[in-house]
Amino acid sequence: MKTVPSKNPKVGFVSLGCPKALVDSERILTRLRAEGYEVATSYRAADLVVVNTCGFIDAAIDESLDAIGEALAENGKVIVTGCLGAQPQRILERHPSVLKITGPQRYEEVLASVHEYLPPKHEPFLDLLPPQGVRLTPRHYAYLKISEGCNHHCSFCIIPSMRGRLSSRSIDEVLREAEALARAGVKEILVISQDTSAYGIDLKYAAASWRGREWRANFRDLAAALGELGIWIRLHYVYPYPHVDEVVELMADGRVLPYLDIPFQHASGRILKLMRRPAAAEDTLRRLEAWRKAVADITIRSTFIVGFPGETERDFEELLTWARAAQLDRVGCFEYSPVEGAAANALDQVAVAEPVKAERRRRFMELSAEISAAKLERKIGQRVRVLVDRIDGDLAIARSSADAPEIDGLVRISGGAALGVGEFADVLVTGAGAYDLEAKLP
Ligand code: SF4
């Protein structure tokens, strides 16, 4: 397959100072990578440079000011963060042209500044993060990218030609990053990649040591090891291969969240074949049934594409029938639009008219909302564990195991203002809407 050069925005990073500053840098870089930014290895190759400074003693301040000067001379676009950022005047006296200055542990502000001066590339079909991904990530959850690229050839997707074949990070490197995140106060890790269930295939599942034990670079060991951290582990972009059952067992044991994000994309065998989807031949309804038997409270999230070239009303009805039977908890739906360079553009199929696409999306989302509302209603009266994201007046806005940040629902806790942001709480569900829950402290 022809490889086209990546046009992803590139950020250079200079990290000075103590281990805490290093963890900050790791966190910023993790998030930037998850949003599709690349890390440049030289000032010249970068579109923008972030300097994480130290302001502990005079020598460190001088070193930081010199590093800012060097980045400005070599690149020109510089964002400053870290301890010296707490003294912006001192920086501006020497370097008035820096773009932005933020203080230590201001990850969100650093990310917002990068977004402002170097917007992330947004590709609705391909992004690992939702479009709202540019919103600020509170420091109690973080994205952990375990691999890059993909071995599949879905006809609507250009990731394999842009980012190459699956390239997994070694298991010890991934686990060390996860451990650093947990140490820095992260309470929830969201595992992301293009195909999480394929993790480690390219490494031939090479084993490595972490916390005195050998772990293989495969999906099951990765999930089990992350489960040792004692925080929420949420798995995104999983395909319904048979070995996913082993990870569902870990969910049954409470080691990872009972949540699976599986991009089914469609249910008509004909359309799945045209899409060239992995695991298209799997009997997904049977798999869903088995997983629910193993873990009663498992949440299944998925995304779908309607209006793919050649999709007939009959194919769409097949999708609706499947959705009624599948009873998915969380659903997103896109109207198909062609991506430049994708194989689907060359399919000898009739394009679906725009109004028809919109109509199908509306019908699909109506059914999904109905299913979601009925499922949430059944939670009234139950106690659920939540992670508090923010306080809004008298309300604590939180999420349960069923809610990934920014793409799923919320739990609104009345009288929860005293709860700590980034802390877990057990609450009693008192009401339900189509996607969100109301709750109170028990
Ligand atoms: S699985 Fe398909 S849609 Fe996902 S990245 Fe690979 S080729 Fe693209």
389 in contact with ligand 1, CB cutoff 6 A: no
Q: How far is the CA of 277 from the centre of ligand 1 (A)?
A: 8
Work out which ligand 1 atom sits closest to the CA atom of 277. Answer: 2
Give yes or no for residue 248 having a pLDDT over 80.
yes
Give yes or no for residue 250 having a pLDDT over 60.
yes
Highest mean pLDDT, choosing among 134-143, 181-190, 299-308: 299-308
User: 355 φ, ψ to 5°?
Assistant: -60, -35
Smallest CA-to-CA distance from 327 within 293, 366, 370, 362 is with: 370
Average pLDDT of the segment spanning 327-340? 88
What is the phi-psi region of residue 65: left when phi exceeds 0, alpha when psi lies from -120 to 50, beta otherwise?
A: alpha
26 in contact with ligand 1, CB cutoff 6 A: no
CA–CA gap between residue 151 and residue 165 (Å, rounded) = 5
Q: Each residue of 357-372: b (16+ CB within 10 Å) or e?
A: bebbbebbbeebeebb
pLDDT at 329: 96
Average pLDDT of the segment spanning 28-46? 83
Average pLDDT of the segment spanning 376-386? 97
Give yes or no for residue 393 having a pLDDT over 60.
yes
Average pLDDT of the segment spanning 155-183? 86
Q: Which of 1, 152, 273, 304 for mutating ligand 1's site (highest number of atoms within 8 Å of CB)?
A: 152
Give yes or no for residue 426 having a pLDDT over 70.
yes
Q: Are 189 and 229 within 8 A, CB to CB?
A: yes
Confidence bin at 130 (pLDDT 50/70/90):
very low
Kindly report the pTM of this predicted structure: 0.71
Look up residue 345 and give its two tokens: 């553009």
Q: How far is the CA of 159 from the centre of ligand 1 (A)?
A: 6
pLDDT at 133: 33
Average pLDDT of the segment spanning 352-356? 95
What one-letter code names the amino acid at 343? A
What sign results for the dihedral spanned by CA atoms 31, 159, 258, 242?
negative
pLDDT at 74: 93
Residue with tokens 């990290």: 15
Average pLDDT of the segment spanning 128-138? 40
Look up residue 378 and give its two tokens: 């059944």
165 in contact with ligand 1, CB cutoff 6 A: no
Work out which ligand 1 atom sits closest to the CA atom of 153. Answer: 7
Question: What is the average pLDDT score of the chain?
Answer: 88
Give yes or no for residue 32 having a pLDDT over 90.
no
Q: Which of 195, 303, 336 for mutating ligand 1's site (highest number of atoms within 8 Å of CB)?
A: 195
Nearest CA owner, ligand 1 atom 4: 194
pLDDT at 125: 46
pLDDT at 192: 86
194 in contact with ligand 1, CB cutoff 6 A: yes
Highest mean pLDDT, choosing among 127-131, 133-137, 221-225, 405-409: 221-225
Q: How far is the CA of 170 from the centre of ligand 1 (A)?
A: 21
160 C-beta neighbours (distance < 10 Å), count: 18
Average pLDDT of the segment spanning 71-89? 91
Give yes or no for residue 20 having a pLDDT over 60.
no
- Cβ-based neighbours of 265, under 8 Å, separated by 6 or more: 154, 272, 275, 277, 303, 304, 305
344 in contact with ligand 1, CB cutoff 6 A: no
pLDDT at 4: 38
